[in-house]
C-alpha cells in the first residue's frame, strides 16, 4: 500500500507540526510526541475478503458468457475456477493498494483493536513512559483507519480528566474528515501544551527528552 502519510501531510505541514510541538513544549515540562502512521496493521484478511466478494460474481458472469451456465458440463466448472483465480489475484492486488476499498472489508471492532494496540506499542517503543516526571503525551494518528488515539503517562492522568482528552480527539478526527488534518493536529497540540502548562509548568534546565514528530509505519 502506498505511503498515506505523504498524501496526508506535505513536507511543509510536517515542518509546521515540528514547530508547533516545539513551541508547546517551551511552555511546559511535559513531553509531547505526535506520531502519524499510514496504518496500524496491514489487514491481510481484508484483501482476501474483498477479492473474493468481487471475483466470485465476476467469474460467474464471465463463465456464463464464455461457456454457458456452470451446471452444463464439467468444462464450465474448470473455466469458472480458472477465471475466479485470475480475478481473485488481480483484485487482491488492487484492494491491497487501494485504501478506500480495503477499508470497506475491515470491521470497526478490528480497527479499534489494531489502532489501540499500535498506539500503546508506539507509546512504549518510543520511550514515552521514561520521562522524568511521567508526563509524556502521545498523539497517535492512523490514516488508513481514520482513527486518533491520545495516550498520556500516569503523572498526567492523575491531573487531567479523560473528558479533556476525548474532546481533543474529537476535534482532530473532525478536522481530518473535513480535509483539514494538519490544521486540526496543530490546534490539538497547542491545546495539549496549554493543559500541560497548567499542571506541569516549565522547569529550570528542562530539556527535550523525546522526538517531537514521528512519521512512519506503526
Mean pLDDT, rounded, for 143-168: 85
Three-state SS for 84?
Answer: helix
Q: Which three cell numbers stand for residue 159?
A: 491531573
Q: How far apart are CA 114 and CA 217, in angstroms?
A: 13
Global confidence as pTM: 0.83
Residues 134 and 204 placed together within one structural domain of the fold: yes
pLDDT at 115: 93
- Domain check: are 119 and 59 in the same one? no
Total tally of structural domains belonging to the chain: 2
Query: End of a domain among 103, 129, 145?
Result: 103
Q: Whole-number mean pLDDT of the chain?
A: 85
What is the four-CA torsion angle of 138, 129, 161, 38, rounded to 10 degrees?
20
Nearest Cα residue to 43 out of 123, 97, 124, 119: 97
Domain boundary, last residue among 103, 121, 142: 103
- pLDDT at 211 (0 to 100): 67
Q: What are the two backbone dihedrals, phi and then psi, of residue 209, each rounded to the nearest 5 degrees? A: -90, -15
Q: Where are the beta strands (DSSP E) in the chain?
A: 31-37, 136-142, 147-152, 213-215
Amino acid at each position: 500500500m502506498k505511503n498515506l502519510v505523504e498524501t496526508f501531510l506535505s513536507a511543509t505541514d510536517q515542518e509546521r507540526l515540528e514547530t508547533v510541538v516545539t513551541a508547546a513544549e517551551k511552555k511546559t515540562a511535559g513531553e509531547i510526541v505526535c506520531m502519524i502512521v499510514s496504518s496500524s496493521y496491514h489487514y491481510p484478511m481484508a484483501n482476501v475478503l474483498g477479492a473474493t466478494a468481487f471475483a466470485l460474481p465476476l467469474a460467474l458472469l464471465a463463465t456464463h458468457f464464455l461457456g454457458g451456465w456452470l451446471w452444463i458440463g464439467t468444462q464450465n466448472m474448470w473455466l469458472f475456477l480458472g477465471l475466479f483465480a485470475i480475478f481473485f489475484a488481480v483484485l487482491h492486488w488492487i484492494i491491497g493498494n487501494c485504501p478506500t476499498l480495503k477499508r470497506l472489508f475491515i470491521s470497526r471492532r478490528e480497527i479499534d483493536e489494531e489502532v489501540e494496540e499500535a498506539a500503546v506499542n508506539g507509546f512504549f517503543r518510543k520511550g514515552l513512559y521514561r520521562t522524568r516526571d511521567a508526563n509524556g503525551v502521545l498523539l497517535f494518528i492512523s490514516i488508513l483507519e481514520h482513527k486518533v488515539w491520545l495516550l498520556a503517562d500516569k503523572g498526567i492522568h492523575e491531573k487531567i480528566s479523560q473528558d479533556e482528552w476525548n474532546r481533543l480527539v474529537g476535534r482532530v478526527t473532525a478536522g481530518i474528515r473535513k480535509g483539514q488534518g494538519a490544521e486540526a493536529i496543530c490546534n490539538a497540540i497547542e491545546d495539549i501544551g496549554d493543559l500541560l502548562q497548567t499542571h506541569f509548568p516549565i522547569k529550570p534546565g528542562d530539556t527535550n527528552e523525546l522526538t517531537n514528530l514521528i512519521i512512519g509505519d506503526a
